[in-house]
Amino acid sequence: GQNIDQPTEMTATEGAIVQINCTYQTSGFNGLFWYQQHAGEAPTFLSYNVLDGLEEKGRFSSFLSRSKGYSYLLLKELQMKDSASYLCAVRDRRGKLQFGAGTQVVVTP
């Protein structure tokens, strides 16, 4: 089975940086995803990591360490529109994608 842990909530000010950590345990790792979900909307894809290291996409970066079962999502130059829930998800060898409970990020002026 899979177990995915991430903090429940984080608060940061506009323009700041926030790092959302995700730890996981899985039987057969086949990729880690980050999704963003605004209130009342569907989740949307942010990033994908399957090899160790950092993937950068504009203001968002995601890091993976497979040996530690650890990932983080880094949000830089925070904007008010970044207030949302950020979901860490792990795919196993059979293609099953399981999500963590999500981290609610609150951006304050």
Give the binding site for other proteins (CB under 8 A): 30-31, 33, 41-45, 48, 50, 87, 89, 91, 93-102
Comparing CB distances to other proteins, the nearer of 59 and 93 is 93
DSSP state of 51: S
Torsion of CA 54, 55, 60, 66, to 10 degrees: -60
Question: Which CB, 103 or 107, lies closer to other proteins?
Answer: 103
Q: Quick one: 69 or 102, whose CB is closer to other proteins? A: 102
Of 94 and 109, the one with the shorter C-beta distance to other proteins is 94
Note the residue count of the chain: 109
Least distance between other proteins and beta carbon 31 (Å): 7
| Smallest separation (angstroms) from other proteins to the CB of 45 | 5
Residues with Cβ within 8 Å of 33's Cβ and at least 6 positions away in sequence, in order, are: 45, 46, 47, 48, 88, 89, 90, 91, 97
Q: How far is the CB of 35 from other proteins (least distance, A)?
A: 8
CA-wise closest residue to 83 among 43, 51, 38, 50: 38
